[in-house]
A and B are shown apart, each in its own frame.
Chain A
């Protein structure tokens, strides 16, 4: 599970251990039927974190506003379902993807001319503006009350969203699988390698004739598209959209999940949301008043002792065992 860096000498074939998350996800479906709604939520956040890893971990773009694209995707699916009578889930997801991508290319083209703190501030500004629009446009979004009355037709006309969350779980799993496959392929491609080049030394990328700005706009757009899909999935599984999908806290929480799992290694985006959301679920039940304390402690420990996140710890432990053997 070591860092997935791509590159011109990397073997792009899927390794055995990379099937592990999928095996676990399918096992969870059969073994933990009462946790499927939490499971679907985790799968959605994995897709969302994967989109963030693409720009933070691989291209080196720091952002606190990724919720803009996630939230827009969520609202587009919700508004289509509740106000426009478009209930087909695949159609809704395509619309969420298009909306996320469109906002990604427009905002990316503006903010990616800047860097570092300016860029960070601009990402924050974008999601704040969207939050305020959603808050005020009550006729469309329901404002602070949230958007209810979201109706979702059966997937492909066959699979109804059941109250046990079985359809939702498998549906999210399939969408995540497609997203993972695309992201992984991109990371191993020449384009992905050039992104790591930009992250490592953008000055040098300019000097070898790379159109750095356009590469960044492209990856930002792709990432926003995936985040839009993740937002659409959240609406479909919850059948409700709240303002919190657009909040800065939600973007920050996502970044925490990614750092927890490990940045720039694809599977950090898998481990982070699993640990974070399960810990949140557990701590919120056990210590309803103090659960953020537990999350905070966990993050402090990871940042202090394991810069590579949980996967980083696993990597270095395996490396030690390997040397001893």
Chain B
């Protein structure tokens, strides 16, 4: 089977500043892979290149065997690449249901229709409701995002991405800003995600990373420092020096 997502020699520089330096990365089908690294390591830049927000200076991005380096954001989504955002990027004044339904409608190709009312598109409604039920958000369906506690907003963030039925899902700090007492709720949801989705998670919460990921890549100053299974990474001296050490003290 093909690699789900792969980058070959991916570089990005802003003038003299190099924020991604020849990144070779492979995400296997069904993977639970984490990308970690200290602040400013270039994690978000990497995700932005994968999703098409930023164009790489050089290198290639391959999704399920297809070169997507020069495709636009929307096309990549259609090919099965979904993402969540580090900072809540929700439709704040719309209901929870509508937040998810917008994504489902785009995927089903009904979002540009004008003839019938949105609520008459039962397939969009019912699929969105099912999704909310699996994430334990069904009771909040009619709430506006504005009126929702932050932890639940993070779940809506994931629900929107799942509405796209991605083959590859990039989770950009899914637990950011969530009190640690509630982050287990996020982990529960992540654990129950369909196995056929390959997941790349970018996260600062090391508990979450080590419990969730089966493989970890450490990025430092735009370069891959090391990649391996969680216990290998946990035992790696260099990783402790640049990253885990800092964290434990802080």
Contacts and interface: CB of A to CB of B under 8 A. Distances in A.
Interface of A: 5-12, 185-186, 188-194, 196-197, 200-201, 203-212, 215, 218
B98 A201 contact: no
A189 B164 contact: no
Interface of B: 51, 73-75, 77-78, 83, 85, 89-95, 97-98, 101-103, 105-107, 110-121, 124-125, 128, 141-142, 160, 163-164
A194 B120 contact: no
Contacts of A210: 74, 102, 106, 111
Closest CB pairs A-B (n = 4):
A209-B77, A12-B117, A200-B91, A8-B101
17 contacts: A7-B95, A8-B101, A9-B95, A11-B119, A12-B117, A189-B115, A190-B111, A190-B121, A190-B124, A193-B111, A194-B112, A203-B89, A204-B89, A204-B160, A208-B160, A209-B78, A210-B102
B68 to A, nearest CB: 13
Given A5-B94, A193-B101, A207-B51, 6 more contacts: A12-B120, A190-B110, A192-B114, A194-B111, A197-B102, A209-B77
B102 A193 contact: yes
Central interface residue in B111, B120, B163, by most chain A CB within 10 Å: B111
B90 A204 contact: yes
Given A204-B91, A206-B73, A208-B160, A9 B112 contact: no
A193 B105 contact: yes
Nearest to B52: A206
A207 B73 contact: yes
B82 to A, nearest CB: 8
B91 A196 contact: yes
B75 to A, nearest CB: 8
A188 B91 contact: no
A6 B163 contact: no
Nearest to B84: A207
B119 A7 contact: yes
Contacts of B124: 8, 190
Nearest to B77: A209
Contact of B102 (A5, A10, A12, A194): A194
B10 to A, nearest CB: 20
A189 B113 contact: yes
Contact of B119 (A8, A186, A194, A196): A8
Given A201-B91, A207-B89, A209-B78, A191 B97 contact: no
Contacts of A7: 94-95, 97-98, 101, 118-119
B98 A9 contact: yes
A191 B89 CA distance: 20
Contacts of A200: 91-94
Contacts of B118: 6-8, 10, 12, 188-190, 192-193
B102 A9 contact: no
Contact of A190 (B92, B103, B105): B105
Most B Cβ at <10 Å: residue of A193, A210, A212: A193
Nearest to B115: A189
A208 B94 contact: no
